[in-house]
Structure 1
Amino acid sequence: MARVNMLIFLVVVALSVVALIDCLVTDRTRLRSFPRAAWIVLILLCPLAGAVAWFRAGRATSSRDVHLPRGPIGPEDDPDFVRALADALREK
Structure 2
Amino acid sequence: MARLLLILALVATVFWVYTIVDCAVQPAGRHRGVNKGAWMAIVILLPVLGGILWFVIGRGRASQPMVRRAPDDDPEFLGRMSDTARADQDERIRRLEEELAQLDSEADDPRAPKPTDDPGDIPGKGDDDTLGQRGSVG
Which category describes the TM-score, using the shorter chain as reference length?
0.5 to 0.7
Alpha-carbon offset, residue 62 of structure 1: 4.2
- 3-state DSSP of counterpart to 2:20: helix
Alpha-carbon offset, residue 38 of structure 1: 1.0
Report what 2:94 is aligned to. Answer: none
RMSD over aligned Cα, in angstroms?
1.7
C-alpha contact (below 8 Å) 2:30/2:60 kept by paired residues: yes
Which has the greater radius of gyration?
Answer: 2
Q: Figure out how many residues of one structure are paired with residues of the other and give that number.
A: 66
More relative contact order in 1 or in 2 (CA 8 Å, sep 6+)? 1
The C-alpha deviation readout for 1:19-60, integer Å capped at 9, x for no partner, is 100000001111110111111111111111000000111111
List alignment gaps of at least 5 residues for structure 1: 65-72, 77-92
Task: Indicate the percent of aligned positions where both proteins have the same amino acid.
Answer: 32
Alpha-carbon offset, residue 9 of structure 1: 0.5
53-62 or 2-11: bigger deviation: 53-62
The TM-score normalised by the length of structure 2 is 0.44
Alignment of 1:15-30 (within 5 A): 15-30=15-30
Q: Distance in 2 between matches of 1:56 and 1:41?
A: 16
Alignment of 1:5-16 (within 5 A): 5-16=5-16
Structure 1 or 2: more helix by fraction? 1
User: Runs (4+) of structure 1 moved beyond 4 Å?
Assistant: none
C-alpha contact (below 8 Å) 2:30/2:62 kept by paired residues: no
The TM-score normalised by the length of structure 1 is 0.65
Alpha-carbon offset, residue 4 of structure 1: 0.5
Report what 2:63 is aligned to. Answer: 63
List alignment gaps of at least 5 residues for structure 2: 65-75, 80-138
